Amino acid sequence: MFTETQFGKSRRRAELLAKCVLGMMVASMIIPLFLIIGYLVKEAWPLLSLDFLFTNPTGGMRHGGIWSALLGTLYLVTLSLLIAAPIGVLAAVYLNEYARDSWFTRIINLAVVNLAGVPSIVHALFGLGAFVLFAGIGRSILAASLTLAIMTLPVIIASTKEALSAVPISFREACWNVGASRWQTIRGIVLPNSISGILTGVILQVSRAAGETAPIMFTGAVFFKKIEAGNIFAYSIWDQCMALSMHLFTITTQVTDAPRALPFATAVVLLGTVLMVNALSIGLRVYLRSRKKW
Amino acid sequence: MDDESHTHPLIRVQDLKVRYGHREVVHGISFDVQKNEIFAIIGPAQSGKSSILKCLNRTLEFIADAKMSGSVEVDGVDVKKVHSVYELRRKIGMVAPLPVGLPLSIFDNVAFAPRASGLHDKHELDALVQRCLEQAALWDEVKDRLNSLGTKLSGGQQQRLTIARALSHQPSILCLDEFSIAIDPVTTMRIEDVLKELKAELTVVLVTNLVQQARRLADRTMFVWNGEVVELDSTDAIFSEQPQSRKTYDYVHGIFG
């Protein structure tokens, strides 16, 4: 009774093999990640302190902290989020809920997907041409944020559409059947049940914007700018600013005799900022999912 | 108003054709539904029954490549020319084949439609929700937990919740599209009893592929086959030993289909 057949044996072997291979793939992804983070923190350790965060770079960026770069990144990310999130989410709502399926909307959807794959340096050149030169904004936080917004928009639109179309069509039909308009259906049923997915997509784009160097290099980020340390209103949106990613690039390639720990410490701060944003996104998603109602 | 409804049938469908893209699924159907009758539409799957219902309240418009032609009149008014399509939809209660509890509380599920049309008075809403849930024979089971989720109810309860929601905008026509395919026979019988009671106030259009259900409930029955009407007559005649069409006899007696 219940003896293993030849087929059973080979099935068991395949099962074992699949488990090992898949597990190894996960390990090959996780282990380097922890090695990188561990190495960065170890090298940066002598410099890491609250003081490092809240003081400006000094001595040709060989000493001091990274306050002006950190604040610059926060400005860029916040402003680009304020521009891209409403436009992206509302555009996605239109495309998913209102637009009829025609050749025109199909072209728009195709364009969105393709724009998401455009390299960031191309967005940078577009931002330089469109915002800095043509619109006459000049190199500034505003121009750089607009460029970052343009870069993140397509992905925000695509991920929002994904979240919206995960809401079952039967919910919408039920609402239409009782005489609710499209907007009432969207506000009452569709948005509350897709908000967790929408926010996840938006916040992941925030962390991407924080890490990009190319789009801000041409449009508003500078090597060095002196601002009041510890004052979060030290920049105006018409100013040029420093940014973490740009700062890291500068001190590793341009400043030859900076202390060894400095670029590592900058990298840790940049990484920490991105990880904090991602953690926020995960937390928000867990919270909103727990309120999901089907 | 009353005079008008005596001169018009409540629903008049003439030469209705429905196509999805290039595929026509309803090939010119005509029928009338009188006030306060239960009108059954029977026929196998894919014969165009659900499409007919979608034309009554114009929700066919939400399907990308669907087109209807011919005329559909509800209460003497062509549905293509109504001033407010939302008022048309509120006149017709729709119950879908699979129960759809909206991801809201039981109370909000029923109060959704009245709120969507601007009713926010707490007392009126309370009374309306209770009446609809009572009419749908669900009140006794849920009256102590109106704030729990509608989606957590059992299938049969959700289907009755769907019926309560369809009644919440006080329609004069109730359309049910194979309401019993996802629920057990006991609940089905309960809902059938509910329908018999509702018939005093409402007109019921019942799409079903359970021929015996049509026999139990309907005053008149229309047999649809491949998008065409095979026979439309009183239910007694359809289920008699000699309906006009041999096909009808075969279908209702289970010889094919």
d(CA B27, CA B16): 7
Chain A residues in contact with B88 (beta carbon < 8 A) = 179
3-state secondary structure of B66: strand
Is B36-48+91-252 assigned to CATH 3.30.530.20? no
Query: pLDDT, tens digit, for every residue of B104-121?
Result: 999 999 999 999 989 989
- 3-state SS track over B211-241: HHHHHHHCCEEEEEECCEEEEEEEHHHHCCC
Q: Which residue of B has its CA nearest to A173?
A: B59
CATH number at A118 reads: 1.10.3720.10
User: B204: which strand partners?
Assistant: B38, B174
Residues A152, A205 contacting (CB under 8 angstroms)? yes
Q: With an 8 Å Cβ cutoff, is B82 touching chain A?
A: no
Partner-chain contact A174 B86, CB within 8 Å: no
CA atoms within 13 A on the CB side of B188: 16
- What are the pLDDT tens digits along chain B (257 aa)? 444 445 678 999 999 999 998 999 999 999 999 999 999 999 888 888 999 999 999 999 888 889 999 999 999 899 999 989 999 999 999 998 888 888 999 999 999 999 998 998 999 999 999 999 998 989 999 999 999 988 889 888 999 999 999 999 999 999 999 888 888 888 889 889 989 999 999 999 999 888 899 999 999 999 999 999 999 999 999 998 888 888 899 998 888 76
Answer yes or no: is A31 within a domain: no
Chain B residues in contact with A293 (beta carbon < 8 A) = 103-104, 149, 151
pTM of the model: 0.83
pLDDT of residue B72: 94
Answer yes or no: is A148 within a domain: yes
Query: pLDDT, tens digit, for every residue of A171-180?
Result: 999 999 999 9
d(CA B128, CA B131): 5
pLDDT of residue A227: 83
| Shortest CA gap A151–chain B (Å) | 31
Residue spans of the domains in chain B: they are 36-48+91-252
Q: With an 8 Å Cβ cutoff, is B256 touching chain A?
A: no
| Helix, strand, coil abundance in chain A, percent, nearest 5 | 70, 0, 25
Query: pLDDT, tens digit, for every residue of B228-241?
Result: 999 999 999 999 88
Q: How far is CA A62 from the centre of its chain?
A: 29
d(CA A111, CA A107): 6
Answer yes or no: is A213 within a domain: yes
Answer yes or no: is A67 within a domain: yes
pLDDT of residue A50: 85
pLDDT of residue B2: 47
Within 145-174 of B, beta carbons closer than 8 Å to A belong to 149, 151, 162, 165-166, 168-169
Total number of domains in chain A: 1
Complex confidence, ipTM: 0.86
| Helix, strand, coil abundance in chain B, percent, nearest 5 | 40, 25, 35
Closest partner residue to A171 (CB to CB) among B86, B102, B149 is: B102
> What is the sign of the dihedral through the CA atoms of A127, A132, A138 and A143?
negative
Strands (E), chain A: 57-58, 63-64
> Would you state the structure tokens that stand for residue B73, as one six-digit string?
């009149």
- Entry field: residues in chain B: 257
Chain B residues in contact with A181 (beta carbon < 8 A) = 86, 116
Chain B interface, mutation test: which of A102, A173, A178, most B Cβ atoms within 10 Å? Answer: A178
Spans in chain A with pLDDT lower than 70: 292-294
Closest partner residue to B100 (CB to CB) among A174, A188, A192 is: A174
The domain of A185 spans 61-290
> Would you state the structure tokens that stand for residue B42, as one six-digit string?
């029977």
d(CA B102, CA B115): 14
d(CA A150, CA A162): 19
d(CA B159, CA B187): 9
Chain B interface, mutation test: which of A103, A177, A182, most B Cβ atoms within 10 Å? Answer: A177
Answer yes or no: is A22 within a domain: no
